[in-house]
Amino acid sequence: MRSSAIAVLSGVLVSLAATLAHAGAEPASPAKVEETKEEAKAPEPPAPAARQNSAERSGIRALIEQETLKTDLPADIAEAVVFVESSYDASTIGRVGEIGLMQVRPGTAAMLGFTGSTAELAKPEINIHYGVIYLSQAWRLAAGDLCRALMKYRAGHGEEVMSPLSGTYCTRARSHLVAMGSPYSGPGPWPAGAAKSPSKTAAAETAATTNTPSALELIRPTDVYARYRQGTPAASRAFWAAHEARIHAITAAIETKWRNIASR
């Protein structure tokens, strides 16, 4: 008898629990469904920061074009480097002290003639100036080969081995060039000055002959030990950056001399 009563009571409790659960599960109201649809139909307008970012990119592009006009480096490639290095963020600081839009190391900038502070090096116009100089040298050393030029930019002008990191770097840069619709997303290599009109090429050559410092004006590689302790990685990087800058200046002077002789 007791077992029968317990069974009946258990059945009643289960039935009551099911009824309460069913009552609590109300279907979504039509108003809520329509509200959800309206939210999906009407996305919010872009945030002011996004619009400002677009304006900042236009300003960065203008600075890049201004600097690359003095070199054989295509502006699209310099912009791709800005994208890979900093995503257009001038406040970016790298793991080993790289600064700004093009992640220029203070030691590298110093070897190219920069004498200011790290805060000044972070300024877009200064950062792009020295970044483009170093990248244009890498571009020339790589004979217009995109991946090799980027390898030399990120790992040093003396680098000859394409590491996995350099390969990934090139892939990211090339993907951005594709997104930009740039002709430099192709395999290359690209001869120096291929993308410049005759008038721009002439202007670039004139600027190069008047603005390129002579080898005597550049810091000597051994002078880096006045700022960096000899034997440290920073001193080694600075030494080779100074060496490459002097070689570039000597090469540019020789090329200018022969162009002048040939034009007579």
Give the per-residue pLDDT at 3. 53
Domain architecture of the chain: domains with CATH: 53-188+201-262 (1.10.530.10)
Give the per-residue pLDDT at 214. 45
The HSE-up count of residue 63 (CA atoms within 13 Å, CB side) is 22
Give the per-residue pLDDT at 41. 35
DSSP 112: T
Q: At what angle do helices 75-86 and 124-141 cross, to 10 degrees?
A: 120
Tens of pLDDT, residues 43-61:
444 444 444 477 889 999 9
Give the per-residue pLDDT at 209. 42
Give the per-residue pLDDT at 225. 62
Give the per-residue pLDDT at 21. 47
Interatomic CA distance for residues 231 and 149, integer angstroms:
27
The residues of the chain scoring below 70 in pLDDT are 1-52, 187-188, 191-229, 233-240, 242-253, 255-264
